[in-house]
């Protein structure tokens, strides 16, 4: 998990959003101008709407757009509250009862890896046409981004404070109430900042699955009717909402918190303390058991129609025992293979582009000061909601999918890496300066090693994020791969296939996340042993 905020040097605290905005203006103004020119030049290609056309569209459809926005905002807000409350409850549980920490993390990751593309339709069947699927999806999109920094924040307490509590004979609950809760507040805020745009994204995806009203519904309509202006207007509104919510929470935090929210958090790898051998295996087994139990429990509790609500046993039998199990397996394997062709290059390209651009920018410090706030703002844009744009521009082929995944991965990686590079200890830089080592030497010897923890944290978090991106594009646009298979099975009511793919995608994402974690530990053993403590 990466959470970044502007460094103090970039955006001095306590002078409100205006100062930051004034620094941002020249770049975006230029971009707007370029956009307008390009949009007008390519008017016949039906891909790009110039800002003027977007404004005109928004003005002419003010009623429609604001009604849709209000609906989506309400759902996103409800999901935001529910998801964050869940995250806080889980973090408190893990803090008061540390033994549960591993299972809490494991389960949280697994649920976060659920492909929204498939959970959306399932929730739609469960809840019907009302707002609940959107709200649940928004909550699902939010809780993890809050939980992870909160877990870190609850732990990031000097040992002396805990000794103090213990020296008066008080236990974990007192430590939580008197010390940890407030110490974790800045971390919570950092999480909420990321969560706010994520909630909006979750709500929109929920609306893709057949809601009656909302921004997601309009987006689908715009895409189907090839309405370029409308598509761009919707994406613009979504972007504005995301950036504004991000800035608003940051502003509130600076206003009411006495210390700055943490600049960056590279949470320890999922494996945590029991990272090796038996401990890891036990954690895995416990998490698996807990997941199965929850799955069964939820189905039993909700008393759902077994026609669409498949339990672990049904999925197992669909994949292994049923007469058509072999066909199901091969269909899934084929779809996963198609997805991997887009996912892996996009993921790697996004990571590489993010890291490389960050390095380049650090070599030219003057750009870095401007690029950082811009990238942070852009990172909060729900890339998925701009999927229709990418499809418009690059078409429904492989390129569009790969690019979209890469963009999804790029921004968080870029922000994390840029921050990591600038985190390099000043004194060591001073030492290198005293030997007249140039910026390239500094980059290679000091900054890149200092960047690695942030890079890997971004790489881990981006596994589920890129799976989300690729499945959404497959579903909305390209019509192949696992995303499309899930959408197709949902519409054909092939619930065995749907649940099987949900299980498979979740497990694969979680494994990918864990796999990056393993790689991370290997690299850290050499470059950053302190991260492994």
Partner 1 sequence: MSVSVVCTGLAKTFGGSVEAVSPIDLTFAAGQTTALVGPSGCGKSTLLRMVAGLEEPTAGEITIDGHPPADTLREAALSVAFQDPSLLPWRSVRQNIELACALARRPKNATDIDQLIHLVGLEGFADTRPAELSGGMRQRAAIARALVTRPRLLLLDEPFGAVDELTRKQLASDLPGIWEARGTTTLLVTHSVTEAVMLADRIVVLSPRPADIVADIPVDLPRPRRQTLSREPQFARIVERVFAALSQGMARNLPKAAQ
Residues that bind partner 1 (CB under 8 A): 158, 160-161, 163-170, 174, 178-179, 182-183, 258-259
Which of residues 183 and 421 has its CB atom nearest to partner 1 in the complex?
A: 183
Q: How far is the CB of 283 from partner 1 (least distance, A)?
A: 24
Q: How far is the CB of 160 from partner 1 (least distance, A)?
A: 3
Q: What does the longest C-alpha to C-alpha distance in the chain come to?
A: 75
Q: How far is the CB of 169 from partner 1 (least distance, A)?
A: 3
Q: How far is the CB of 179 from partner 1 (least distance, A)?
A: 7
Decide: 234 and 218 in contact? Cβ < 8 Å.
Answer: yes
Place of tokens 């971004």: 458
Distance CA 145, CA 198 (A): 8
Distance CA 476, CA 480 (A): 10
Phi-psi label, residue 304: left if phi above 0, alpha if psi -120 to 50, beta otherwise: beta
Which of residues 259 and 522 has its CB atom nearest to partner 1 in the complex?
A: 259
Q: How far is the CB of 181 from partner 1 (least distance, A)?
A: 11
Which of residues 176 and 523 has its CB atom nearest to partner 1 in the complex?
A: 176
Which of residues 258 and 427 has its CB atom nearest to partner 1 in the complex?
A: 258
DSSP output for 304-325: --TTT---HHHHHIIIIISTTH
Q: How far is the CB of 180 from partner 1 (least distance, A)?
A: 11
Which of residues 164 and 393 has its CB atom nearest to partner 1 in the complex?
A: 164
DSSP 175: I
Nearest to 95 by CA among 144, 162, 189: 162
Which of residues 63 and 160 has its CB atom nearest to partner 1 in the complex?
A: 160
Q: How many helices (H) and strands (E) does the chain have?
A: 23, 0
Q: How far is the CB of 159 from partner 1 (least distance, A)?
A: 9
Distance CA 200, CA 142 (A): 9
Q: How far is the CB of 262 from partner 1 (least distance, A)?
A: 13
Distance CA 404, CA 472 (A): 10
Alpha-carbon torsion, ordered 422, 425, 429, 432, to 10 deg: -130
54, two tokens: 């977007």
Which of residues 24 and 164 has its CB atom nearest to partner 1 in the complex?
A: 164
- Return the sign of the alpha-carbon dihedral for residues 346, 348, 351, 353: negative
The SS3 of residue 153 is: helix
Three-state secondary structure readout of 243-271: HHHHHHHHHHHHHHCCCCCCCCCCCCCCC
Q: How far is the CB of 260 from partner 1 (least distance, A)?
A: 12
Which of residues 154 and 165 has its CB atom nearest to partner 1 in the complex?
A: 165
Q: How far is the CB of 4 from partner 1 (least distance, A)?
A: 22
Distance CA 133, CA 111 (A): 15
Distance CA 106, CA 104 (A): 6
Q: How far is the CB of 263 from partner 1 (least distance, A)?
A: 17
77-109 burial: b if 16+ Cβ within 10 Å, else e: bbbbebbbebbbebbbebbeeeebbbbbbbbbb
Which of residues 44 and 530 has its CB atom nearest to partner 1 in the complex?
A: 530
Which of residues 170 and 396 has its CB atom nearest to partner 1 in the complex?
A: 170
Decide: 240 and 200 in contact? Cβ < 8 Å.
Answer: no
Which of residues 164 and 304 has its CB atom nearest to partner 1 in the complex?
A: 164
Which of residues 22 and 167 has its CB atom nearest to partner 1 in the complex?
A: 167
Q: How far is the CB of 257 from partner 1 (least distance, A)?
A: 9
């Amino acid at each position: 998990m990466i959470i970044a905020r502007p460094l103090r040097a970039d955006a001095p605290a306590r002078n409100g959003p205006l100062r930051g905005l004034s620094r941002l203006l020249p770049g975006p103004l230029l971009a707007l101008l370029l956009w307008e020119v390009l949009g007008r030049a390519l008017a016949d290609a039906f891909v790009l709407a110039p800002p003027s056309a977007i404004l005109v569209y928004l003005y002419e459809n003010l009623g429609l757009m604001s009604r849709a926005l209000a609906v989506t905002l309400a759902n996103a807000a409800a999901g935001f509250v529910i998801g964050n409350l869940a995250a806080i409850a889980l973090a408190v549980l893990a803090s008061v009862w540390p033994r549960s920490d591993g299972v809490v993390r494991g389960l949280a990751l697994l649920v976060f890896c659920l492909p929204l593309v498939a959970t959306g339709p399932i929730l739609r069947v469960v809840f019907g046409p009302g707002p609940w699927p959107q709200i649940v999806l928004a909550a699902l999109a939010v809780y993890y981004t809050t939980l992870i920094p909160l877990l870190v924040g609850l732990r990031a307490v000097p040992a002396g404070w805990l000794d103090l509590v213990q020296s008066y004979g008080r236990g974990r609950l007192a430590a939580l109430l008197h010390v940890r809760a407030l110490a974790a507040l800045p971390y919570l805020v950092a999480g909420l900042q990321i969560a706010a745009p994520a909630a909006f994204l979750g709500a929109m995806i929920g609306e893709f699955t057949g809601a009656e009203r909302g921004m997601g519904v309009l987006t689908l309509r715009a895409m189907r009717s090839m309405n370029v202006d409308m598509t761009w207007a919707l994406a613009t509104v979504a972007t504005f909402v995301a950036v504004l919510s991000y800035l608003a929470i940051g502003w509130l935090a600076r206003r009411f918190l006495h210390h700055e929210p943490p600049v960056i958090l590279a949470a320890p790898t999922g494996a945590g303390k029991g990272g090796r051998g038996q401990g890891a295996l036990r954690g895995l087994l416990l998490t698996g058991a807990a997941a199965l139990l929850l799955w069964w429990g939820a189905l039993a509790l909700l008393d759902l129609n077994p026609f669409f609500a498949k339990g672990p046993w049904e999925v197992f039998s669909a994949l292994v025992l049923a007469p058509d199990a072999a066909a199901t397996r091969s269909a899934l394997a084929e779809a996963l293979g198609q997805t991997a062709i887009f996912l892996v290059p996009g993921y790697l390209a996004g990571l590489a582009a993010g890291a490389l651009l960050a390095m380049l920018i650090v070599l030219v410090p003057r750009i870095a000061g401007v690029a950082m706030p811009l990238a942070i703002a852009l990172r909060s844009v729900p890339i998925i909601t701009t999927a229709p744009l990418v499809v418009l521009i690059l078409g429904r082929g492989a390129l569009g999918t790969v690019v979209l995944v890469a963009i999804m991965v790029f921004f968080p990686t870029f922000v994390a890496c840029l921050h990591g590079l600038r985190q390099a200890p000043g004194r060591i830089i001073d030492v290198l300066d005293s030997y007249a080592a140039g910026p390239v030497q500094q980059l290679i010897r000091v900054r890149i090693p200092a960047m690695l923890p942030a890079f890997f944290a971004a790489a881990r978090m981006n596994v589920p994020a890129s799976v989300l991106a690729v499945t959404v594009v497959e579903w909305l646009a390209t019509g192949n791969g696992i995303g499309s298979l899930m959408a197709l099975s949902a519409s054909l009511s092939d619930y065995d296939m749907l649940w099987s793919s949900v299980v498979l995608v979740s497990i694969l994402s979680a494994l990918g996340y864990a796999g990056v974690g393993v790689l991370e530990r290997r690299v850290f053993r050499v470059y950053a042993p302190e991260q492994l403590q």
